[in-house]
Amino acid sequence: MNTTKSKDGTILAYDVYGNGPALIYITGASCFRKFMPIVQDAKVFSTEFTVYNYDRRGRGDSGDTLPYSIEREIEDIEAMIDIAGGKAYLYGHSSGAVLALEASLRLGNKVIKAALYDLPYVHNEAEKADYEKLGESVRNLLSEGKNAAAMKTFLKGIGMPKIFVWILPLFPGWGIMKALAPTLAYDIALTQDLPPLERAARISLPTYIIVGEKSPSSVQDVSNKLAKVIPNAKFSQLAGQDHMADAKALLPLLTDFLK
């Protein structure tokens, strides 16, 4: 395990895979660097890139200095870029894509290019109101120490089938998911607003917005809106893929755009 420190002193744990241009992999909600689907993604991407797969703060082996803010997560990304040589490509998935977008706005030429998959901002006022209620429920459960209930409530609230949520405790990784539950509040904070179209229009670096063909219509709507306002953004719909895209299907798009 490798570690580095963010600006506020938070320890960040990371693994490095492969050779080639540096790619910082920014994961989404309830994910961490040793989660098997994330490891598999990193290994696929490593056939073309040097992949920096890190635990976002509060996850896995990384620390969690409070209070949380998006600024601290951007500082974490900057720390990872510095470890990678001072400049890097970014690939963000879900709430990680939100962080990659913000890093593109805030970190100047340290970000060479950014690829964003399935940006999950709320897409209209009605969804925003529903999501606020979901966020309040999750935060209340977390404040009571009910991590399992918070995770189940969140997953059902974002559309995961109830039967799948019901059987989750039977899987070996359920204990880790419960431990990650407090970070759901961070992901909700990142995604609870409408997409920042005016700010996104100021992004100057090459940006690739990708959405799964089978991803929710709200995610597709947000992705289309952002692709239209970001100058010279490239947009693709990944055929046959949903929110959890197959890395082997995604890699040719990333390779063609980033390299």
Spatial distance between the Cα atoms of 113 and 100, rounded to a whole number of angstroms: 10
Decide if 56 contacts 82 (C-beta within 8 A): no
pLDDT confidence of residue 259: 86
Cβ neighbours of residue 185 under 8 Å, at least 6 residues apart? 68, 135, 138, 139, 142
pLDDT tens-place values along the chain, 259 residues long: 899 999 999 999 999 999 999 999 999 999 999 999 999 999 999 999 999 999 999 999 999 999 999 999 999 999 999 999 999 999 999 999 999 999 999 999 999 999 999 999 999 999 999 999 999 999 999 999 999 999 999 999 998 888 888 898 888 788 888 999 999 999 999 999 999 999 999 999 999 999 999 999 999 999 999 999 999 899 999 999 999 999 999 999 999 999 8
pLDDT tens for 40-55 read 999 999 999 999 999 9
Decide if 151 contacts 184 (C-beta within 8 A): yes
Encode 163-197 in three state secondary structure. HHHHHHHHCCCHHHHHHHHHHHHHHHHHHCCCCCH
Spatial distance between the Cα atoms of 253 and 242, rounded to a whole number of angstroms: 15
Integer angstrom CA distances of residue 196 from 6, 102, 191: 26, 10, 11
Decide if 192 contacts 180 (C-beta within 8 A): no
**In the chain, what is the straight-line distance between the N-terminal and C-terminal CA atoms, in Å?**
28
pLDDT confidence of residue 160: 85
